[in-house]
Amino acid sequence: MHEPLPQADRTLLLELARDTLKATFAGRPLPLPDPLDDALTQRRGAFVTLTIKGALRGCIGHVEAVEPLWRSVRDNTLAAAFRDPRFPPLEEGELEQVVIEISVLTPMQRVTSPDGVVVGTHGLLIERGQRRGLLLPQVASERGWDRFTFLDQTCRKAGLDPGCWHSDETRIFVFCADHFREPG
């Protein structure tokens, strides 16, 4: 497991995400974080979630650690704002209302039983064939789900029937997330 990021790194990543949106609307080059410490250059999976008045406005991320954390946050900020297929692209007039949340993921661990899922601690990734569904740890807590509802809803997110997690053909993975957000 990874340790939570220090507050200074959390602040830097939130500022990087906010500055990325501002630069995009202003037509300026994308920002680079400074200074970069080791934690921000490690390859880590991360998601960026955008909300307005508590309502989801975009959420995109990488489960796999494909790039340095700072770049993952910057790229996922743009993707959440402009390429989440569930929403129209963010408009400049929404910029002051949007609240940015970042979830930095630990590596996935496969579980073979629902007993391996701890609501409030774990996020879920369910895979079956070519279908995958992921829900971040905070989703189950925010919605008051038990582990079975969490598993069922992650199956739905994958485009599968609820209860698909009972099948031997379905793979269940858990992960933890260091989740932090802007005030607001």
pLDDT tens readout for residues 46-88: 999 999 999 999 999 999 888 999 999 999 999 999 999 999 9
Tell me how far apart the alpha carbons of residues 43 and 71 are, in angstroms, rounded to a whole number: 9
- 3 state DSSP class of 32: coil
How many other C-beta atoms lie within 10 A of the C-beta of residue 120?
11
Residue 155, pLDDT score: 98
Whether 54 contacts 97, CB under 8 Å: no
Task: Summarize pLDDT for 104-157 with one digit per residue, the tens.
Answer: 999 999 999 999 999 999 999 999 999 999 999 999 999 999 999 999 999 999
Topology agreement, domain 7-105 and domain 109-176 = no
Q: Is residue 38 predicted with pLDDT exceeding 90? A: no
pLDDT of residue 2: 63
Q: CA torsion sign, 120 to 111 to 114 to 145?
A: positive
Predicted TM-score of the model (pTM): 0.90
* CATH-assigned architecture of domain 7-105: 2-Layer Sandwich (3.30)
**Beta-strand runs (E) in 38-182:** 46-52, 55-62, 98-105, 109-111, 123-128, 131-135, 171-175, 177-181
Residue whose tokens read 């489960």: 63
| Residue at token pair 């989740």 | 179
Q: pLDDT of 158-168, one tens digit each? A: 999 999 999 99
Domain locations in the chain as residue ranges: 7-105, 109-176
Which residue, chain included where needed, has tokens 């996020």?
123
3-state secondary structure of 148: helix
CATH class as words, domain 109-176: alpha beta
